[in-house]
Every structure is written in structure tokens, then in C-alpha cells.
Amino acid sequence: MDPLFVQVDPRDNVAIIVNPEGLPTGARFANGLTLQEPIPQSHKVTLRDLSEGAPIVRYGQIIGHLSRALPAGAWVREDVMDLPQAPALDELPLATAPPAPLPRLEGYTFEGYRNSDGSVGTKNILGIATTVQCVAPTVDYAVRRIRQEILPRFPNVDDAVAITHTYGCGVAIDAPGAAVPIRTLGHLSRHANFGSAPLVVSLGCEKLQPARMLPGASLQASKGGEFPILEGNPYVIRLQDERGFGATVSAILHYAEKRLEELNRRKRVPCPASDLIVGMQCGGSDAFSGVTCNPAVGYAADLIVRAGGTVMFSEVTEVRDAVHLLTPRCINEDVARALIGEMRWYDEYLARSGADRSANPTPGNKRGGLANVVEKALGSVAKAGTSALHAVASHGEKVSTKGLIFAATPASDFICGTQQLASMNMHVFTTGEGSPYGLALCPVVKVSSRTALAEKWHDLIDIDAGTIATGQATIADVGWELFRFILDVASGRRKTWADTWGLHNALAPFNPGPVT
């Protein structure tokens, strides 16, 4: 491959190296630029001579200032860049430039499971919710037995999944932050892919009682070996009411079989693409992420929005430094204020814990050429596409609006995914460094930023967006490929690699509240 760089915006004074092995001193680009030193793939090169203190511009935005002068063709390392302040939250433009609605996209459908509450599932799963970590090993044991002994008799059901977590007791459950994990777990327990009221396993003495996790539900409880009729309501098995481990497992198996009979009758039906609720997230990002996979995901996001569906983007700390690009895009000032409110809440949360702005990015991000959180954020928000921002959901809230939504979550991959599961029926995950991440509750489509990763991890990466950097494909090509892949996976016609291997990360609800 000839020496190749990618410049994102004509205003940029740095670009990133495309060649997989990096480039040596003296490598000459088509425009005559010559490297002064070796530069690894995905790291930044200066496009012209820059003086000390000069702004470093990428994505048309300032990502830092140079601490010393650099000639054209030099490697812009993290240690020659300062970290700019995050945009002040008091001076942001509110809904000043909401984009016009994108042209409607008609006729795209997928085969999903329509539920009585109108929600649509993309999988057919028996879900067993838990209120507290104390019961998790018991439920995991029961789920192993269900998979081996009962599930094979119900061929229309994909899996049995325990919703286990570390929350539920030893926590200040009335502290303000407790609302976040509690509502997350409530929404997870009623996930669209479970298709009906959940089976709940409780210990008995825990802080998070079933009625608190499922407010408004008509709960039925076990009575030590008696089996009342289910009648479509959440059913609770309380371990401390049962006569030992064997009796508890028998009760779980008994109700699991009744649920499986119901679930096995579910049928996939044609659903418009507007029933998609897709959560977008990145993890293990590199400097290509903002050039290849994230813009392709953004293109697919626009297609989903045009088809009337819902797209969520999240990860507060990776939106914070690009928030000035998003507040003008809100459909009204209330949405812009809600977005700023989520940024402010997280600023205060981080400040309380003494975290500084270098807490994100990771060592892997830096190895991949991302110098700081500003550069990471500018690439990250490309996942949001170009449509107007329609609504903001707070941590763990269920999204009910169509269009593009900011759903506040931490950037941590497994916490973000868990929080987005409160709403989503499909998940898209972009990566540059590589992550085998997956979720049991809903399919996770993995998109790589570089072809080298897609080739190395040929049995983990579903879509390669690296072809955008080499010019073999356009952002639109990969965006359409991803959109069609999402429809196929949501229909059960194709499987993601994560589901092929059963790579399902543990759930990790965000708990900003105190532990006792």
C-alpha cells in the first residue's frame, strides 16, 4: 500500500496514518508530505509546520495545543498536546440549528415478536429476574438445569437467561442515586425479548424487595411448594420461604416450564423498521473510530431514524467535550437543557469522586492514537448521525420517543450496555482495538474501525468499516450494509458472532448511590 493518511475536515492540520504497519522516516505521501520520523498506524501526523502553542485541529475542532513547535510530517504524540477545558455548560447554544427532518424511508421491515404492550422483541428468551446478588448462584444453577433438561423441548425459545447483578442489598436504598439501578433492573426484568411478565427470584430479607423493583405490578409469591396459577403476572419465588435448595430449584424449574409453554407459542411477524430501538456504543476505540466505524454507524442511525425507528447514543464522558455540537441540534430548548443537565450531573458525580479529565481515555485508546478525551469525544459522537436530537433519557430510564435520543449512561462498555438494555432491542458496538463484548438479552453487532482488526478477528467482528479509510467503500456503503445486517439479525435470519459463541457479558447496572 502506498503511504496514505486520512484528513477528516479541510480545516484539520493533522491527519492519521492508514497503513497497517505504520510508516518509516522519509515515507512520502501523494501530496508531497514527507515523514520526519516513524509513525504507527492510526497515529497523527502534522500536515504543515506548527508553532509552539498552535491549536491542533481534527474534525475541524481544536483537540489541544502544541507544547512545542513541530515541523510538517512529525508525529503528534500525547505528550506534546495539552488538554483543553470542556465546553462551559452555561454558554451553550440551545436548539439554534435543529436539522430539518430527513427524507422518510419506507418499506423496510423485520420479523420480530410483537408483545401485548406493543413492544417488539428480536429474540425469544425465558428471563429470570433477581432482586439481589445473594440468589445469583442458585438461579445460575437452575438456569443450567433448565437449559439441559427443559429448553430442548421448546424449540421456538432461544435461551433461558438469569438477570443477575451485584445490586440489591448493603446499599443506601433511599439515597437519590439508588433510583438508577432500581429502575434499570425493573426495565431489564420486563425486557421486550422476554415476551411476558418476568419470573422473579428474591431472597426475602433484602433491601430491594420485588414490589420496589416492579412498581405497580400485581405480584404473586410462592408459598413453600404450593404453585398458584400464573395469570400473566410477575411471579416471585422467595428463597427464605422454601424448604432448602432442592425445593427452591424445583420451584424455579416448575415456573420456568410454565413460562416456556407460553414463550414457545410466540411467532415472528413482520414489523416495520420503526419498531427497532437500537443502542449505539463504542469500546476499545482508536483514532480510526471517528473516521470509519462511527460515521458508518451514524449513517445507519440516520437510516433507522428515517424509517421511523429509535436510535440511542450514550456515554456521557464521551459526549461531554462535543456537547457544543449537539445542543444546537436539539429539537427544542427543553431537550437542549435536559442534555446539559445530564452533562452537569455527571461533572458533579466525577468531581465528588475526585476523578480528573484524564480518567478517559484508556491506555488502549492511546495506543490506538487517541491522545485525549476531546479527540475521543469528537469521534464518538459521529455515531449519532446527522438528525435532530429528539429527547434525552436519564440513567436507566426507558426510552419511549422515536428518533434520535441521548440516553445518559457511563462510557464503561458493560455498564452502558446494561443501561441501554432498559430500552433497546438491538445493540451496535464499534471497536478499533477490539473487544469480544456481547449481551445475552439482545443481539450485539460488532463493527471494526480497521480492516486489520476485522481480518485478525474474523470470527468476532460482524462488519468491517476499515474499508472506508482505504477508499474501497464509502461511509454510505457500510452504513447500508449495517442497516440491512441489523434487520437480518433482528429477524433471526442471521446471527452475530457474539451469539454464535454465546459471548455474553455480566450485567452491571450503574449504581451512583452509596454502599453500606
Binding site for Ca ion (CB under 5 A): 281, 283, 411, 413, 416
**Least distance (Å) between residue 283 CB and Ca ion:** 4
> What sign results for the dihedral spanned by CA atoms 227, 229, 232, 233?
negative
Q: CB-wise, 202 or 365, nearer to Ca ion?
A: 365
Question: Helix, strand, or coil here: 319?
Answer: coil
- How do strand 14-17 and strand 5-6 relate by DSSP bridges? antiparallel
- Cβ proximity to Ca ion: between 391 and 411 the closer is 411
Nearer to Ca ion, 283 or 298 (CB): 283
Residue with Cβ nearer Ca ion (45 or 411): 411
Query: What span, in angstroms and rounded, lies between the C-alpha atoms of 423 and 429?
Result: 16
Name the residue with cell 418499506.
107
DSSP letter (8 states) at residue 150: I
Nearest approach in angstroms of CB 300 to Ca ion is 18
| Residue 186 Cβ vs Ca ion, minimum distance, rounded to whole Å | 23
Residue closer to Ca ion (CB basis): 190 or 395: 395
* CA proximity to 206, closest of 180, 181, 240, 248: 240
Smallest gap from Cβ 309 to Ca ion, in A, equals 22
Closest Cα partner for 294 from 478, 437, 457? 478
* Distance in Å, CB of 411 to Ca ion, minimum: 5
The three cell numbers of residue 130 are 433477581
Nearer residue to Ca ion within complex by CB, 189 or 294: 294
Q: Which is nearer to Ca ion, 281 or 511 (CB)?
A: 281
Q: Which is nearer to Ca ion, 186 or 283 (CB)?
A: 283
C-alpha to C-alpha distances, 292 to 449, 467, 481, nearest whole angstrom: 6, 8, 13
Which residue has cell 438508577? 180
CB of 477 to Ca ion, least distance (A): 25
Q: How far is the CB of 246 from Ca ion (least distance, A)?
A: 42
- Closest contact distance (angstroms) between CB of 341 and Ca ion is 21
Q: Is 168 left (phi over 0), alpha (psi -120 to 50) or beta?
A: left
SS3 171: strand
Q: What is the residue whose three cell numbers read 440516553? A: 407
Angle at 462 between CA 442 and CA 295, to 5 degrees: 95
